[in-house]
Amino acid sequence: MSYTIKDVAQKANVSVATVSRILNNLPGYSEKTKEKVLQVIAEMGYQPNAIARGLINKKTKTLGVLLPAVSDTFASVVLSGIEDMAHELDYSVMVCNTDKDGKRTMKYLQALREKQVDGIVFVSEFFKEEYYNAIIAMNLPVVLVSTKSQYDIPFIKVDDREAVFDGVNYLLERGHRSIGMIAGTKGDPIATLPRIEGYKRALKEKEIPVDKRKIAFGDFGFESGITAAKELLDQNEDLTAIFCSSDEMAAGALSYLYRMSIRVPDQISIIGYDNTKVAEMAIPPLTTVGQPLYEMGKSAVKMLLDRETAEQKSVFMPHHIVERETVKVIENKETE
């Protein structure tokens, strides 16, 4: 059993109030008693009990983070940013693996509420109405990372429409005219639809007709990249490039092309999305449109904790194309 502030007070011959004041740097004691108390504390190895503290000042200095699959490369980088910034500001973080369905999320939300976290960051998951209700009921600051909602909840993400526009434009500028797309989950209003729009807009600006058969859907994971790539290749003979909505799917595409002995980028160019470590480690190293995942995590907690004072607004983070070795320049634009 650990020592309490009472033990310290007793041993130092002062009241608990004095010890508390010293611990919290409040005025009200002489230099001499301060030294005495500090010495006693060191001797006993006393550590304040944050639970008792939390009970009285209604702040726990801990944050909740909800994300689908911690082991996902994407989410884990965001988490890492969150964790670092939280640590800098003396907060702890509770991770909640929501596992891509709903019931678990609600259970977590309840647990976080009971445990009195000071704020919640919600990563990349689709934000259901149910969650919104739960969250306003607990009256806590929340920020969304890499997702958004129809509600008035601040988010931090890149502008997907612009980002994929730039990505496929990058391909276009290098002479590609028949470009496939491996999109995310079909119908996803956050991470799929806007990206498809970006893709279409880029094509339209170059007056290239969009062809449904050039769009395949996946679930952002490696396996789905394989099957989507196969689908695309089977349905289109003239493809010279594929835009992938995640690096993992791009890795899947790469893997499929390797198995088919189709050389990248000589025969087909590939561009990914996210710029996770997967892109760096790919063979060949993957050109990708990068999101500042780590910084997004950091910003999220900064924003979350600022909210106590100022009301904050959503922010679009900058994206940028990371050039590596999976995109080839095509000289003759035969398609024109």
Partner DNA sequence: CAAGCTTACGTAAACGTTTACTTAAACAAT
Partner DNA sequence: ATTGTTTAAGTAAACGTTTACGTAAGCTTG
Chain residues in the site for DNA (CB under 7 A): 1-2, 4-6, 13-18, 20-21, 23-24, 26-30, 32-33, 46-49, 52-53, 55-57
- Closest CB to DNA among 44 and 321? 44
CA 92 to chain centre: 17
- Closest CB to DNA among 19 and 242? 19
Q: How many residues does the chain have?
A: 336
When CB distances are held under 5 to 8 angstroms depending on the partner's kind, the choice from DNA, a second copy, none that residue 57 binds is: DNA
Q: Cβ of residue 11: shortest distance to DNA, in angstroms?
A: 12
The neighbour count for residue 326, using CB atoms within 10 Å, is: 27
Q: Cβ of residue 85: shortest distance to a second copy, in angstroms?
A: 11
Tokens at residue 184, please? 């995310």
Q: Cβ of residue 57: shortest distance to a second copy, in angstroms?
A: 11
- Closest CB to a second copy among 117 and 172? 117
Is the CB of residue 183 less than 8 Å from the CB of residue 195? yes
Q: Which residues bind a second copy (CB under 8 A)?
A: 2, 45, 47-52, 54-55, 60, 62, 69-73, 76-77, 79-80, 83-84, 87, 90, 92-97, 104, 108, 110-116, 137-139, 222, 248, 251-252, 254-255, 258, 277-278, 280-285
- Closest CB to a second copy among 87 and 333? 87
Secondary structure of residue 316 in the 3-state scheme: strand
Q: Cβ of residue 61: shortest distance to a second copy, in angstroms?
A: 8
What Rg value do the Cα atoms of the chain yield, rounded?
A: 26
When CB distances are held under 5 to 8 angstroms depending on the partner's kind, the choice from DNA, a second copy, none that residue 85 binds is: none
When CB distances are held under 5 to 8 angstroms depending on the partner's kind, the choice from DNA, a second copy, none that residue 123 binds is: none
When CB distances are held under 5 to 8 angstroms depending on the partner's kind, the choice from a second copy, DNA, none that residue 242 binds is: none
In angstroms, what CA-CA distances link 120 with 62, 110, 310, 331?
9, 12, 17, 51
- Closest CB to DNA among 50 and 329? 50
When CB distances are held under 5 to 8 angstroms depending on the partner's kind, the choice from a second copy, DNA, none that residue 42 binds is: none
Pick from 91, 59, 96: which is nearest to 75 by CA? 96
Give the separation between CA 118 and CA 112, rounded to whole angstroms.
9
> Cα dihedral angle (198, 200, 205, 208), rounded to 10 degrees?
150
DSSP letter for 27, please.
S
Q: Cβ of residue 325: shortest distance to a second copy, in angstroms?
A: 9
Q: Cβ of residue 210: shortest distance to a second copy, in angstroms?
A: 30
When CB distances are held under 5 to 8 angstroms depending on the partner's kind, the choice from DNA, a second copy, none that residue 20 binds is: DNA
Following DSSP, what letter does each residue of 104-149 receive, concatenated?
HHHHHHHHHHHTT-SEEEEESS---HHHHHHHHHHT--EEEES---
- Residues with Cβ within 8 Å of residue 282, at least 6 apart in sequence: 247, 250, 251, 254, 272, 326
Tokens at residue 234, please? 């089977």
Tokens at residue 271, please? 């561009």
- Closest CB to DNA among 46 and 74? 46
- Closest CB to DNA among 110 and 267? 110
- Closest CB to DNA among 19 and 196? 19
When CB distances are held under 5 to 8 angstroms depending on the partner's kind, the choice from a second copy, DNA, none that residue 27 binds is: DNA
